[in-house]
Chain A
Amino acid sequence: MKLLLFADLHLDTRFPSAGPERRQALRDTLGHIVDLAQESDVDAMLCAGDLYEHDRCSPSTAEFLRSSFDCPVPVFLAPGNDDWYGPASVYQQVDWTPNVHVFSSGSMTPVELADGVTLWGAANVGPGPARDVLDGFAVNRGGVNLALCHGSAPDDVAITGLDHAFLGHVHTPEHATDYTFPGNPDPLTPGETGERGAVLCTVNEDGSVSREVFDVSASRSLGWMDSEKTFPLLDFDTVAAERTVRGQFVRDVLADPSLDMALRGRVLSAGLRALEER
């Protein structure tokens, strides 16, 4: 059985720069994921939460999600802490097509994926921090048992009797023996590491899972990676060697330990610029 897993897409999130373009890129990324699911002929597509951000979702998000998931592939959605399930959530506003199943209970609920293969899922059902739905859960049926949820501690997987858990909330991807964090498929913050994207999971008969990561990001190639702005500190040695007021100024500023790097650069720049302009 093949499953395409993704999580933490965070549609409608905010960005330090190029927000509208990058939010559109997030939607394009979801399109890539759905395309990949159909091309890979997967048995189901799984989203482990934080598909969108409830506090920021635009009015068009509901229709976008409905139309995006209107495909032949079964879709299973486990709401996370940013897209929690509730009366006002987008999940309840959408007229989902029959292939979409939204886990709406706060406790683990089973769905029969195939004969002998059960997918357990749960939702975060209110605002607040992510809830560990695996805490206290135990499998009570035979066959291969899989889980789809958001924010659970991976250490709990081993004692639940699950064969594998597909988890969200942790953005750094992690592919362990009995759980998978796919990470956010499209860059959200600077300095993200690890191979992330949509994870094509092949569930074997013994419950083990083999994985292959596909880069589905629509924004990574566009070079919108944010980086922390740093003030360039030039080589002031030449000026500092001057026996002039300018040289003394540079020496004093460079020698002052109370100034941090950025402020030191700003002070030098301001002073030298003022001296240069005639």
Chain B
Amino acid sequence: MRIESVTAHAFGPLHERTLPLAPGLTVVSGANESAKSSWHAAIRAALCGDPSMRHRPWEGEAWRVAATVSLESGEVVAVDRDLNADLAPDGSRWVGLDRLSFAATACVDQAQLLTVLDAANGLQDHLRRAAATAGTDGTVEQALQRLTAPVDALRDARNRLREAETDLAVAQREHTRYLGLSAKARSAAAARARLAVQEHAASLESISTRVARLNELQERFGDSPPSGLAAQEELTHLVNRALAAWRAAPTPRVLPGPSAEALANELAALPDFPVGETALDDELRVVASAYATASAVAAAHHERRPSPRTNADPSVLRGIATRLDPAAGGRLTTASIDVDTARQYQDEAAANAARTQVEADVAAARVQEIALPNPFLRNALLALSCLTSLVGVLLFLTGQQLAAMGVLVAALVAGVGGAMSRGNAAQRESAVTFAAERTAIATDARAVLFTADRTLAEAEGQRAVAAEAARIHDEALAECASLGVPADRETLWRLANRPAWEAEHADLVTEVARTEKAIRVELATRGKVDAAMTVPDLLVDYETDCKVRARQASMAAQRPLLAQTLADRHLAEATVAEATAAHTRALDLLREAVSAIGGTGDRPEDLLRAIAEWQRGWDRQLREAEDERNAWAELQSLIASGTLDDLEATHSAAQTHHATLLEAAARYAACDAVDPSLASSADSLAATVAELARTSPSVPDAEEAVATATAVLAEVTAEVEAIDLASRYLTAAREKVHSTIAPALENTLRTWLPSVTDGRYVDAAVDPSTLTVRVCAASESWHQASHLSLGTAEQIYLLLRVALAQHLATEPCPLLLDDVTVQADDARTRAVLDLLLQLSADRQIVLFAQDAAVAEWAQERLGERDLLHQLTPVAA
């Protein structure tokens, strides 16, 4: 960008004046009061606006500057700026700056120069500031120092949040306590109100009862006392006496059993004691028993009489009986079966023996077939093998290897032959063992066959014996048939013994006759003589007589007992007659009493019922009379404590009070049933609730305090995070920018330094981390720029300003220098002016100076691309 011209239409002392500017170096020279500073300010104002108020026009209200600017693109822009209402754009934007950074970058005045040159780290600080903010604000280092986390604020915020949370917990706890106590106080108040209603209800009920009672009693009695009962004691006595007599009278007893008359008749009908035996006599019993035994024995013997009759000789009969053997047939059958079994067994044993014998013979033949091994040949071959081996070894040791090999081969052959000469020894041994086993089995089989033969012989012998017995039995049967007697051994024996039976039977008949005679004698002595009747019938007749007499004796023995019973009966019947008489008298008294009280009835129960009814009525009358007396006494008592009007007034007041209590209790209708014991604590609970209500902190206030403290803490925390991030971003940005700006500064210094210092300094370096500038002398020694002479430092500073302007601006930016040489001597001034002239080769430089030497230098050195304005003092 290049400023073609600036026109001050109205700016400070300047009025409609134009200052053309050269594309190279423009020197504006003038003494004091020649409006140099105003032109300097006017150029800045024309480009960027926003001038200081001290540059307002000295006359008139208009405040206006204009400029013509050529841009790098070739565009020419005219800026006309009404500074009273500035709407024109900021011209510094065309070079990528703003009015502040333009002032810091493009404008250099003496004060800046002195500050940079005088301060120890002025140059470095300036570079840092320029790199950081284009010189408008602080350095990054200063900013980083300021970016410290607000630790105290963070701690305070946390503490405030903790306190707020604690307060909230307290408030919520108190609130919950308040609600609970309020409910309890409410319940207590409800209990008290209900209790008051309950208690007053009882009192009201009492008063109501008294009023009603007084009304009732007054209506009942008026002013007269009750009359009482009429005298009826006589009737009462009569009734009571009758009742006492009735209760004392015994109830007549109904006697059970036969009457005295029946007993007397029964006593008269009893028989006398009988004469004769009333039970069977013992002697007779013995004789009768002997007779019965003898008769029974004879009858039984007769039952065993031998039958049928036969004429055979008893010895013949006994022989037949001896030969009869009914079991002979069965034994024969059994023996035959045994023979068959033995024979079968014997056949099997014979076959087995034959077979095992054949096998034994075969085994023996096999043994014979296998030749016997020769133990001598085997031993001889083995010995020969050992011997030849030994010889072979000796030959080998003596070095006759060939011979030794031959001998050893022979030894090997002999050893193999000896080993193989054992042959069929094992086979023969197993054959011998097998043959021995077969022989043993054959021997066992023959032993079994012998046993079977013997068993068969024994069975056949038994069968022969059985066949003989059967034959004899058959012969005896044939004899029985011929004799006509049964073939029964026992019958035959009895028939053979018939004479002995007959003799024994005669003895028995004799004994029967003897005992019959004896018993007939005994019965005859007792009056039982009847030869036509048998002894048993006589005995039955006699026993019947004994039983009849025993019965008569038993009846006669009851006579004393019956006489006593009759006497007792007479006494009991007399007692019953006396009780009946007393009962009748009492019944008469009852009837008399019932007719006296006006009742009716004849039977005792009717009479008693009538008396009971009369007594109940009488008791009621007595109670009524008593009630009357008590009621009268109660009336007198009630009247004594107040009149009816007084009582009704009290009742009305109580009713009113009760209605009030009910209304109060109705306020607590929503309360559930509560413990009446709470009523006593109603006041204290109400006071506690009131105190709690006064002192309880507000829950929403506490919640809002927590919310506020939370927000503050979040804010501070975010600020801490932002500060931390800003520090890191700034540090990173510094590294980036310094890494680009440091080479730019170095390049500028390297380009210009040798020429502007006449070769005293040939190189320069800028530290990217600290932006420290060092220069290299021709002697190749490095020096910090700030340590150089003022003149050199001034040159380096101006070079750096140019480099900075070039780096920070997006296109070449004009430099406005205001009296930068005012403090320098002539040599320094000329050196600076020479430098500026060189620098103006590729950028526009405007230099304001009041020093006459500058004007002289300009007249001497400026070329075609440059311009000198010599200002005259402005009239006041």
Binding site for B on A (CB under 8 A): 12-17, 19-20, 23, 54-60, 62, 87-88, 91-93, 95, 102, 104, 238, 241-249, 252-253, 259, 262-263, 266-271, 273-278
Contacts and interface: CB of A to CB of B under 8 A. Distances in A.
A92 B183 contact: yes
For the complex of A and B, 10 pairs with smallest distance between CB atoms = A59-B693, A266-B722, A274-B143, A248-B733, A271-B726, A249-B733, A14-B700, A88-B183, A270-B726, A56-B699
Nearest to B732: A252
B245 interface: no
A87 B721 CA distance: 50
A46 B370 CA distance: 136
Given A23-B700, A274-B146, A267 B729 contact: yes
A267 B724 CA distance: 8
A56 B736 contact: no
A246 B133 contact: yes
A122 to B, nearest CB: 16
B137 A92 contact: no
Contact of A243 (B179, B704, B737): B737
A23 B736 CA distance: 56
Interface residues of B, number: 61
Contacts of A268: 726
A246 B132 contact: yes
A245 B133 contact: yes
A102 to B, nearest CB: 8
B182 A245 contact: no
A274 to B, nearest CB: 4
A94 to B, nearest CB: 9
Contact of A93 (B96, B142, B183): B183
Nearest to B148: A274
A57 B131 CA distance: 62
A271 B143 contact: yes
A23 B699 CA distance: 12
Interface of B: 96-98, 101, 130-134, 137-138, 140, 142-144, 146-147, 172, 175, 178-180, 182-183, 186-187, 667, 670-672, 689, 692-694, 696, 698-701, 703-704, 707, 718-719, 721-723, 725-726, 729-730, 732-734, 736-738, 740, 807-808, 810
A253 B700 contact: no
Nearest to A268: B726
Given A56-B703, A262-B718, A252 B183 contact: no
Contacts of A266: 718-719, 721-722
Contacts of B180: 88
B47 to A, nearest CB: 16
A244 B138 contact: no
A62 B98 CA distance: 66
Q: Which of A19, A54, A275 has the most chain B CB atoms closer than 10 A to its own CB?
A: A275
B147 A12 contact: no
Given A252-B729, A271-B730, A241 B96 contact: yes
Contacts of B147: 270-271, 274
A266 B729 CA distance: 13
A69 to B, nearest CB: 15
Contacts of A54: 179
A87 B146 contact: no
Given A249-B729, A252-B733, A275-B143, A56 B700 contact: yes
Contacts of A93: 182-183, 186
A59 B696 contact: yes
A245 B726 contact: no
B58 to A, nearest CB: 33
B704 A19 contact: yes
Nearest to A252: B729
Given A56-B699, A92-B670, A246-B137, A267 B131 contact: no
Contacts of A262: 718
Given A244-B132, A246-B132, A274-B146, A263 B722 contact: yes
A203 to B, nearest CB: 28
Contacts of A91: 670
Nearest to A269: B722
Nearest to A229: B711
Nearest to A231: B718
Given A93-B183, A276-B138, A13 B700 contact: yes
Given A88-B179, A271-B143, A277-B138, A14 B729 contact: no
A104 B671 CA distance: 11
B134 A249 contact: no
A192 B187 CA distance: 41
15 contacts: A23-B700, A56-B698, A58-B698, A59-B693, A244-B132, A245-B733, A246-B134, A246-B733, A248-B736, A248-B737, A270-B147, A274-B142, A275-B137, A276-B138, A277-B138
A270 to B, nearest CB: 4
A79 B714 CA distance: 37
Nearest to B146: A274
Contacts of A267: 722, 725-726, 729
A243 B732 contact: no
A244 to B, nearest CB: 5
Contacts of B733: 245-246, 248-249, 252
A275 B133 contact: yes
A164 to B, nearest CB: 28
Contacts of A104: 670
B734 A19 contact: no
A95 B186 CA distance: 10
A19 B701 contact: yes
Given A243-B807, A278-B137, 12 more contacts: A19-B700, A88-B182, A102-B670, A245-B140, A248-B736, A248-B737, A266-B719, A267-B726, A267-B729, A275-B132, A276-B138, A277-B146
